[in-house]
Amino acid sequence: MMELRFDMQYEDAYREVYELVKPKYRLFTAGPVACFPEVLAIMSVQMFSHRSAEAKEVHVDTLNRLKAFLETENGEVILFPSSGTGFMEAAVRNTVPRGGKVLVTTIGAFGDRFAEVVETNGREPIILRKEPGYAVKPEELDDALRKNPDVHAVTITYNETSTGVLNPLPELAKVVHEHDKLLFVDAVSAMGGADIKFDEWGIDLVFASSQKAFGVPPGLAVAAVSERVFEIAEKMPERGWYFDLPLYKKFNEKKKGTPSTPPLPQIFGLNVVLRIVEKMGGKEAWLRMYRKRSETIREGVRDMGLSVLAEPGYESPTITAVVVPEGMKGVDVYNAMRERGFELAKGYGSVAEKTFRIGNMGYMTFEDIEDMLANLREVIADLKKRA
Ligand SMILES: Cc1ncc(COP(=O)(O)O)c(C=O)c1O
């Protein structure tokens, strides 16, 4: 048997993996995105028990900061040891009985995912679908709800990452209330980059992933959940254990933690970001920065003669899907930009071939954006010559 040896140069293990994953590109991705160095630094502290007083203090502080960020006093903030999709599953299993109907609005690939989650959990999705690039309009939602009065809930993708479209959430939320349905909001690529007023807009469940607009590595999902959801969930049979929402609420209150072991480094990283937001001028200033980043990108690509997939007035503040000219493929732009040291995002879903995407989430400067646009201009000109 081999003896364990501590005199070996085992730090080579780090170097070997570092060679595989070391940063090579400036990131304009759809997520995971680049993180503030302060976030990465806090995530490398030595681990300790998630039931320790220190972990409890960070847990409660993170919940309080998120409550302020999401503008909720009534909502319960929940941290899941999963990616964002976990909350799709949780929303459905905790509130909709087996065989029950859910109105799933879909404006792209992630709306389609919500429909799959509903279906694979034995519930029935009723689909309201829009063409890629378009948002759901309040009258369309009203019409769908009139035709389907027996749905338990409505799902809305706040920001469709595949098309770069921001749905008009406050207006859609009003319609959902008029029909007295539960409202589930996928804010995976919106939260942290687009405003969310949980109480005022009357949301029942809104969730996001750490690796998007907060700029934290993947592995943590964040949500705010209404009292109404807990009341329904308490009576819902077979809602499972791992995503049992009332259990998470109980642990928030009694244990100041999560039922199972959470990704502590991501929680520390998120806490740092929420403090950075405050130190950079607060939520409004932070969201303005996001709007400005995305406007700069849209103006830049339009100035090159390219068009943005999103219909005017519904453009995302976190990601732009750009339509490539005839004879060009989105992936060609993506590959050419990689050669120049910029990682954009490939097209995704049904528009994969004819688009590429430019994310503006996480850690980046306006100089990075200008550099990226200058390179993109050359790449497009070059590809046009070859087309
Ligand atoms: C809008 C949207 N919803 C859901 C997801 C899935 O999130 P996750 O991969 O964190 O489960 C994504 C991921 O890109 C997304 O952009």
> Is the torsion defined by CA of 224, 230, 231, 236 positive or negative?
positive
pTM passes above 0.75: yes
The minimum-distance atom of ligand 1 relative to the CA of 218 is 10
Question: Residue 58: what pLDDT?
Answer: 98
Residues 282-334: pLDDT tens digits?
999 999 999 999 999 999 999 999 999 999 999 999 999 999 998 899 999 99
Is the CB–ligand 1 distance for residue 85 below 6 Å? yes
Question: Residue 24: what pLDDT?
Answer: 96
Q: How far is the CA of 261 from the centre of ligand 1 (A)?
A: 22
Pairing of strands 26-27, 342-343: parallel
Q: Is 285 exposed, middle or buried (0-12, 13-18, 19+ CB in 10 A)?
A: exposed
Is the CB–ligand 1 distance for residue 84 below 6 Å? yes
Please give the Cα distance from 320 to 343 (Å, whole number): 14
Segments of the chain with pLDDT less than 70: 1-9
Would you say 268 and 43 are in contact if contact means Cβ atoms under 8 Å apart?
A: yes
Is the CB–ligand 1 distance for residue 83 below 6 Å? yes
Q: How far is the CA of 110 from the centre of ligand 1 (A)?
A: 7
Question: What is the gyration radius of the CA atoms in the chain, in angstroms?
Answer: 22
Phi, psi (5° rounding) for residue 54? -65, -45
**Which stretches of the chain are DSSP H helices?**
11-21, 37-42, 53-69, 85-95, 109-120, 138-147, 169-178, 198-201, 227-234, 245-254, 264-279, 283-303, 330-339, 366-386
Q: How far is the CA of 194 from the centre of ligand 1 (A)?
A: 15
> Which residues, including other chains, have CB under 8 Å from residue 238's CB and lie 6 or more apart?
93, 98
Spell 112-148 as b/e; 16+ CB within 10 A means b. Answer: bbbbebbeebebbbbebebebbbbbbbebbbebbeeb
The minimum-distance atom of ligand 1 relative to the CA of 88 is 4
How would DSSP label each residue in 269-307?
A: HHHHHHHHHHHTT-HHHHHHHHHHHHHHHHHHHHHTT-E
Please give the Cα distance from 200 to 312 (Å, whole number): 26
Question: Residue 2: what pLDDT?
Answer: 66
**Residue 321: in which H helix or E strand, if any?**
strand 319-323
Which domains can be identified in the chain, with CATH numbers?
Answer: 11-36+284-386 (3.90.1150.10), 37-277 (3.40.640.10)
Please give the Cα distance from 380 to 332 (Å, whole number): 10
Question: Residue 338: what pLDDT?
Answer: 98
Residues 153-199: pLDDT tens digits?
999 999 999 999 999 999 999 999 999 999 999 999 999 999 999 99
Please give the Cα distance from 93 to 180 (Å, whole number): 19
The minimum-distance atom of ligand 1 relative to the CA of 162 is 16
